[in-house]
A = this chain, B = another copy of it.
């Protein structure tokens, strides 16, 4: 069997599985999820061992800090995965929910009912927790899933999927509901994204190049989970201490993820008061700073930030700083260079905050909080399948409902159209 045929075969089996998994009751699905969680918990040691193999190879190949950070599993991260699955089990089943009902002039009753999407292909970077998070959410929402994780996470993913399936099948998971694309060859992606007769949606998560390639070549509908070029704007009416705390958190707490801050915008009227302390704190945390021309007049020693910096998602302890003349300049900078992911304003002025919330065209816009909260669990959706950076179907943190569609059921008694 060629690679192409193999992928096709898997996808066609996923479609058959989708016809079965959509029939499972909430109780059945929750039982499967809890069994998977317990199995993962028990196999913690083996999982860490498999992950170590992956990490060794990644270090050998000199992968970046951010890359290795995302690849790493720890006891705590495994616990988070397990807790995530249990949380998903505790969430209400979205399938079958009546989303609306209307009785028309001619007596037709039209009911809108939530249904699974069908088959979901998840293509993701070397971040093994996604394997379990995505499977759990797809399962709970009644979908079959095809997983294609980054090749550096092969050992971790292979084992995680094996554990999940072994725990789930005896509890009634239909065969082929969770499938792992075992090959690490790139062509697998090209094939997967064109199987629209079997697959209902492709969810790519990862680097810009990969997302761009998938968007341009897929015939299956795509929900992109891409770049997170997030800004925090410290307004002239900000509480400086609050601003410091939020900016530090947004940049330093976990710099390798998409909701971390990449560019700090500061109003010129507060810059001289705010920036010296802020920069001192960042330097103590080993943040590499780059400043615009105006910033450099205050801190000549900083490296200069160029146009390229405004467009760069560092995903590391690097930060570019820009002093702006007005709220409008901040909004325009964000709408021009941002990735419509997560952006924050720090201000005590309600009117200015509301202007920012309304005109920044991003999925999540914050007032006086860290952008690091852009996350399905933090938004109360249970574990997330990712953070959508497009406007279609699902935007921002995407949980269970993002993995469903709907259908219309029309009840008549002989109505015809005239």
The residues of A with any CB-CB pair to B shorter than 8 Å are 102, 104, 108, 110, 117-118, 194, 196, 200-201, 212, 215-217, 219, 221-223, 239, 242, 245-246, 248-250, 253, 357, 361-370, 372-373, 378-380, 390-393, 395-397, 405-418
Q: How far is the CB of A134 from the nearest CB of chain B, in Å?
A: 17
Q: Which of B369, B406, B407, B418 contacts A414 (CB 8 A)?
A: B369
Is B117 touching A410 in the complex (CB atoms < 8 A)?
Answer: no
Stoichiometry, as copies per complex, reads 2
Is B194 touching A410 in the complex (CB atoms < 8 A)?
Answer: no
Q: Which of B102, B249, B391, B408 contacts A118 (CB 8 A)?
A: B391
Docked pose: A406 CA to B416 CA in angstroms = 36
Question: Closest residue to A417 on the B side, CB-wise?
Answer: B372
Question: Can you list 6 residue pairs at the A/B interface with Cβ under 8 Å?
Answer: A104-B379, A245-B414, A253-B416, A364-B408, A366-B412, A368-B411
Contacts of A245 in B (CB 8 A): 414, 416
Q: Which of B364, B373, B407 contacts A415 (CB 8 A)?
A: B373
A395 and B370 in contact, given A212-B219, A221-B221, A414-B242 (Cβ under 8 angstroms): no
Q: Which of B102, B223, B408 contacts A392 (CB 8 A)?
A: B223
Interface of A: prevailing SS: mixed
Given contacts A200-B391, A253-B417, A369-B415, list 16 more A-B pairs with CB under 8 A. Answer: A104-B380, A200-B390, A223-B392, A249-B417, A253-B418, A362-B407, A364-B407, A365-B408, A368-B414, A369-B413, A369-B414, A372-B416, A379-B408, A393-B393, A395-B407, A396-B408
Docked pose: A364 CA to B111 CA in angstroms = 10
Docked pose: A380 CA to B109 CA in angstroms = 11
Contacts of A378 in B (CB 8 A): 104, 108, 417
Contacts of A413 in B (CB 8 A): 242, 368-369
Q: How far is the CB of A144 from the nearest CB of chain B, in Å?
A: 13
Is A393 touching B392 in the complex (CB atoms < 8 A)?
Answer: yes
Is A369 touching B108 in the complex (CB atoms < 8 A)?
Answer: yes
Docked pose: A414 CA to B215 CA in angstroms = 37
Docked pose: A361 CA to B405 CA in angstroms = 11
Contacts of A361 in B (CB 8 A): 118, 407
Is A392 touching B395 in the complex (CB atoms < 8 A)?
Answer: no
Is A414 touching B246 in the complex (CB atoms < 8 A)?
Answer: yes
Docked pose: A366 CA to B16 CA in angstroms = 24
A373 and B219 in contact, given A380-B102, A391-B405 (Cβ under 8 angstroms): no
Contacts of A415 in B (CB 8 A): 246, 368-370, 373
Is A216 touching B219 in the complex (CB atoms < 8 A)?
Answer: yes
Docked pose: A55 CA to B144 CA in angstroms = 48
Docked pose: A396 CA to B115 CA in angstroms = 13
